[in-house]
Amino acid sequence: MNLWRKLACSVLLLVVGLSLAANWLAPSGYARQYREAADAPPSREHWLGTDDIGRDRFARVLYGTRISLLLAPAAALLSTLMAALVGGLAGYLGGAWARGAMAVTDLFLSLPWLFLLITVRAVMPLNVSPLFSVLVTFLMLGLLGWTSAARVLCSTAGSLRDSDFVRQARASGIRGARLFWIHVLPNLKPVLYAQFWISIPAFILSEANLGILGLGVAEPMPSWGSLLKELEGLISVGEEPWKFVPLVLLVVVVTSFQLVLSKQEEVAA
Amino acid sequence: MLSSMLKRIARHGLTLIATALLGGLLATALVRLAPGFDVDEQQLDPHLNSESVQALRQKRLDQHNVFRFYFQSLRRAARGDLGTSLSLGQPVSALLRERAPLTLRLVAIGLLLSWAVAMAMAMSAAWLRVSAYDALTTVISGTFLCIPAAVLALLSVLWNVPGALAVALIVFPRVYRYARNLLAKAYSLPHIITARAKGLSELRILFWHVVPVAGPQLLAVAGVSVSIAVGATIPVEALCGLAGVGQLAWQAALARDLPLLMNITILVTLVTLLANSGADVVGHLLRGQEA
């Protein structure tokens, strides 16, 4: 592991650790409103100031980071499992199954990712509880983000199906589900693992995009998307630079993921 | 050669039509199944009498069967009638005609800028082969890759830069990453290293040896970049207040405007598939000429 990757790992661990310690670092919580100090600049009480309704920005950044960093991996796990199921099985079965599965993935891939996301998110209930909105947002990312991974897995499973060891296993009488679970699936693990990790930063960025467009996590629950929405009201960059902290944190985290995953991307391709 | 090309074009054409039609059906089904689809706030207007409310209900009833609604819409579309937007109350064809030029301009300028910057950076990195410069270009593109598209759109409003530049900044890091890898791979091929050792000029190496190797793959990236640019127009137009198709898609999604959303889905699917198919056909042509 080179120096940059070690540094990126340390940054990620630090950010995850801080977000998990949000209850101790910001005991007042993300929703408490200090009405007497609305839109306040950074101070000893509020390290990153407060938002327009007096909520402590530091607390919201910590809790928002926790939500994004815990739920993006959950969505990535869901999308990887779906990709394994659809792509892996289609590639293993081959023929019409593979053609059918790839036609479905082509249909999803022919639509720009953000267009697909806003269409599907908009048809879901918008006036839901904050907790439900978090679940809906990340569940949707997981349910729609499997297509490109399924394509890679379909082709890998297809080449495994024709490999010597699978043919030999088949000749020894191992067939069907047993052959898939014991011989094909373990060999898909490196690709599945890579797809899982590279999905996490992609889903974090997607949630941020949806949040800024008003289709992400509902208020008062914080997420990186809803925190970045604050930038919409800015008049100049120098005016309130502390409002850029969520953006800087997001860029640092996603960059750290990219550095850690540079090897995984080669496997996934 | 010609017949294989015609077959390829025909196959692409059929796939394109089938996928676009399926995409439209998918969008229609999604909106129809969405909770609250039947609710029309116009029905609560106290100025309307019972007959008008009944007429509004009847209008909604026509959209209940997804397949019937979709096929009726397609039949009307074949005659040039794309229906009327429920939220904006205007013919969909007029809305698209009015807004498409702006989006086309954004996509075209954005793509042109992003490709110019990405190729200049990728080529200079491949030519110079200085690790510090390579690291610098990777850091620049990596930083833009880590910023959400919507934030770039917001920053373009803040700094008062044109929307096309925001589209270019969203597309360029993705193009750069592929182009750099393809060029680096091409430049490390034995025959190109030999050409360099023999003292051929960099321009000759580029156009005679590198472009033929990396060209077809770069064309495929060009096809994909159209889809990325079309997707980028949604946050850029929505947040910069530009009245294009991206903003229309955004408004249609929020208002659950079925006729508008269905037509935009078909249009977007057609554009992205056309770009990808076009890139594939041209790439096939180039490979055929080489052979």
State the Cα–Cα distance between residues B55 and B45, nearest whole angstrom.
13
From chain B, the residues in CB contact with A124 under 8 A are 34-35
State the Cα–Cα distance between residues A119 and B239, nearest whole angstrom.
17
Query: Which chain A residue has the Cα nearest residue B261?
Result: A119
CB contact under 8 A, B150 and A228: yes
CB contact under 8 A, A114 and B268: no
- What percent of chain B is predicted at pLDDT more than 70? 92
pLDDT tens figures, B15-52: 888 888 888 888 777 777 766 666 666 666 777 778 87
State the Cα–Cα distance between residues A158 and A154, nearest whole angstrom.
6
3-state DSSP helix/strand/coil % of chain A, to nearest 5? 75, 0, 25
Query: Which chain A residue has the Cα nearest residue B153?
Result: A232
In this model, does residue A34 exceed pLDDT 70? yes
Q: How far is B201 from chain A (nearest CA, A)?
A: 32
Determine contact: B23 vs chain A, CB below 8 A: yes
From chain A, the residues in CB contact with B273 under 8 A are 110
**Distance (Å) of CA B6 to CA A223, B9, B277:** 51, 5, 13
Q: How far is A182 from chain B (nearest CA, A)?
A: 36
CB contact under 8 A, B249 and A251: no
pTM for the whole structure: 0.87
pLDDT of residue A126: 67
CB contact under 8 A, A228 and B151: yes
3-state DSSP helix/strand/coil % of chain B, to nearest 5? 80, 0, 15
A42 falls in which pLDDT band (50, 70, 90)?
Answer: very high
What does the angle CA A71 – CA A223 – CA B253 come to, to the nearest 5 degrees?
A: 90
- CB count within 10 Å of CB B138 equals 19
Nearest to A122 among B228, B254, B268 (CB): B254
pLDDT of residue B43: 66
pLDDT of residue A56: 94
Query: Which chain B residue has the Cα nearest residue A236?
Result: B158
| Mean pLDDT to the nearest integer, A61-87 | 93
pLDDT of residue B48: 76
Mutate to test the interface with B, among A2, A106, A117, A123 (most CBs of B within 10 A): A123
The least confident of B85-89, B153-157, B162-166 is B85-89
pLDDT of residue B210: 87
